[in-house]
Amino acid sequence: MTFKAPFWSPSQASAALFDWDGVIAETNLDFTEVRKKYFGGRPAMLLEDMASLEPAARAGLKRDLEDMELRGAERARFVPGAEAVLEWVGRSGIPWAVVSRNCGKSIEKAAAVMGMTLPRTVRSRDDGRCVKPDPRALCEVCGELSADPAQTLLIGDHIYDMMGARRAGMRGVLVRSEIAPGWEKWLELRCRSMSELLSELSSASEIVPWEYQETVLRFGRKFLASAYKITLKIPETCKPSLDSWIAAAASLGVGGFEPPDGRFEPSCWKSSPSFDPSYMGLDMKEAVRRFLRTRWPFASVREGGGSLEPPPRADELADFVESAAGA
């Protein structure tokens, strides 16, 4: 299954990544005291900020986290509705994995207590150097599932999960009854429970992607559907820069881009610094493809003719795309 771009539905995901605590397993972990002990109570990202501690404190934090997680695993139970969601995923034949910041032993112990068979792919903080919300951790799991991140669903209960989804170019569902101020900026779909997520899976409603929400507010859903069918030929010289030109067009919902021939030279990066420096030396098509992948994952490099020749100025694109989309 694949999402029907430029819209998506949880039911159409080609793969699903599940957080563990609070999504599948309820272990009632509370890191408040740990943050007080090691970080003065500030809302530190414990695994990432661990590097700022002295060696003895780092070792102590590792022990405290593992002890807390193992104690939580002893009382683990299924989050209400989680079993039904996993059954739906199984019936639908969607490959899935667990991606957690917990230690591996606590996940295995909790699963045993719950009587659950874990999937073949389980990513804990013990596996490699990257943990979510680092997008590399999520993309590596997609690789193990032979799944395209742009067609993958990440289901979590914390803002970290949604940050990871955004940075990896995935679709994200937050499952949480209440959210903290500011979290809504990261969300494209929120379910208050796993049972509500099951209803979303069953309804197959079409959701506006996070990256196109402002476009739909301004122009409407019909405009987005039309704009997505358009392929623009990227001008040899874009004003004010190549990256800002592509960003302006992609933000309007344009779904296809035909890059100019040649390679992404150092001079290109110098004038368009939001491209990653690692793109230098790549074929221009591959550089544009990588640029689009995480921010506008439904947009793509298209070839084969039919491309429109738009104005080279980014500030003239809105009028051009409106006319081409028939808005």
Q: What is the pLDDT of residues 120-170, one digit of tens each?
A: 999 999 987 789 989 999 999 999 999 999 999 999 999 999 999 999 999
- pLDDT reported for residue 327: 60
In DSSP terms, which residues pair with 16 in a beta bridge? 96, 153
Domains 10-25+78-203 and 213-324 are alike in CATH topology? yes
Which of 220, 188, 1, 219 lies closest to 93 in space, CA to CA? 1
| Residue stretches of the chain with pLDDT short of 70 | 327
Residue 73 carries which DSSP code?
H
Mean pLDDT over the full length of the chain: 93
Instruction: Give the CATH H-level superfamily of domain 213-324.
Output: NAD(P)-binding Rossmann-like Domain (3.40.50.720)
Indicate the domain borders of the chain.
10-25+78-203, 29-74, 213-324
- pLDDT reported for residue 229: 95
- pLDDT reported for residue 47: 85
Within 8 A by CB and 6+ apart from 111, the residues are 25, 76, 117, 118
Q: What is the distance between the alpha carbons of residues 231 and 228, in angstroms, rounded to a whole number?
A: 8
The CATH architecture to which 10-25+78-203 belongs is 3-Layer(aba) Sandwich (3.40)
- pLDDT reported for residue 266: 93
- pLDDT reported for residue 305: 72
